[in-house]
Copies of this chain bind each other. A is one copy, B any other.
Amino acid sequence: MAGEVAQDFYNWMQEIRARIELVLDSSLPTLDGDLTGLHEAMRYALVGGGKYVRPLLCFAAGEVTQACPAALDRVACALEMVHVYSLVHDDLPCMDNDTLRRGKPTVHVQFDEGTALLVGDALQTQAFSLLSETSSVLTASQSLALVHELAHAAGSFGMVGGQAIDLASVGQRLPQNVLEAMHRMKTGALLRASLRMGALCGDPLSDEAREMLDVYASAVGLLFQVVDDILDCTENSNTLGKTAGKDAKYAKPTYVSLLGLDATRALTKQLHADAYKATERLGKRANRLRALANFVVQRIH
């Protein structure tokens, strides 16, 4: 179960990323008319430079249920739109006040605050617009379930709720269970939705398989965050493409500040093992999910 990542997986990752970049680009309106400014800023935020983790999770889960790639394109795109809207709003001066994202100036720096606010608002709406288009590869019930899954993950009991707890906890030393609950909402909910929505596009899962996918989602969702916490204090801004050392600077509670670096590394091993075990129960079609878990943990080695 060692965290080995095969060349085949890197090729697949590259292929999905290139594919999603094209789909994202074509999902936004062309630049003409009165709305050029807004659409230009939406494209600036959305296209290029992302790691596209949520699309990758979505496509990997889609392999488990043999989902149609055209359906996964749409879902992956909607997930990335919601993720990017949250980044754009999170970077605003009234939140994290950040100036660097994906190696570029943040949207409110490149344009202005009002534009950044509207870009985030419009990207969220666009995600739901995309998922609710009539489709030849998804039934109305599937599409509606996808909308509901995304809304649940993004809302006040998911991503936005996590951001609210984060906002209220700056400078506080949170106990590990509260820190974990915050991350499960702030980033975990959308990562979990990426997996569930990818799987939803294909054949129905057995109850056991759905449960295993949730176990995997839970472990990998937290793993991403813990790895991010480690990278934030061990890497520089140039490598990350976003401001490094931000957690310590703003006295944000992190796993590293709470447990120390060694215990945090040990936690990543445990989470990786949990994720790995879940994929074994899902069989051969979960190969990509397994490789993804290896890939995440390898970022800190």
Q: Which residues of A contact B (CB under 8 A)?
A: 29, 34-35, 37-39, 42, 85-86, 89, 92, 94-95, 112-115, 117-118, 120-122, 124-126, 128-129, 131-134, 139-141, 143-145, 147-148, 150-152, 154-157, 160-161, 163-165, 167-168, 178, 181-182
Chain B residues near A38 (CB-CB < 8 A):
156, 160-161, 164
User: Can you list 28 contacts pairing A with B, beta carbon distance less than 8 Å?
Assistant: A35-B161, A37-B164, A37-B168, A38-B160, A85-B121, A89-B121, A92-B94, A92-B117, A94-B112, A114-B167, A118-B160, A118-B163, A121-B121, A121-B124, A125-B154, A125-B155, A125-B160, A126-B155, A126-B156, A128-B128, A132-B144, A132-B145, A140-B140, A140-B141, A140-B143, A140-B144, A144-B144, A144-B147
* Beta-carbon contact of B160 and A147 below 8 Å: no
Chain B residues near A165 (CB-CB < 8 A):
34-35
* Beta-carbon contact of B181 and A122 below 8 Å: no
A129 to B154 Cα, complex, angstroms: 9
Q: What is the chain B residue whose CB lies nearest that of A90?
A: B117
Q: What is the chain B residue whose CB lies nearest that of A142?
A: B140
Q: Which of B29, B85, B152, B168 interacts with A156 by CB under 8 Å?
A: B29
Q: What is the chain B residue whose CB lies nearest that of A169?
A: B34
Q: Which of B118, B154, B156 interacts with A167 by CB under 8 Å?
A: B118
Can you list the 8 inter-chain pairs with the closest CB atoms, starting with the nearest? Answer: A94-B113, A129-B151, A132-B148, A125-B155, A132-B147, A38-B164, A140-B140, A122-B156
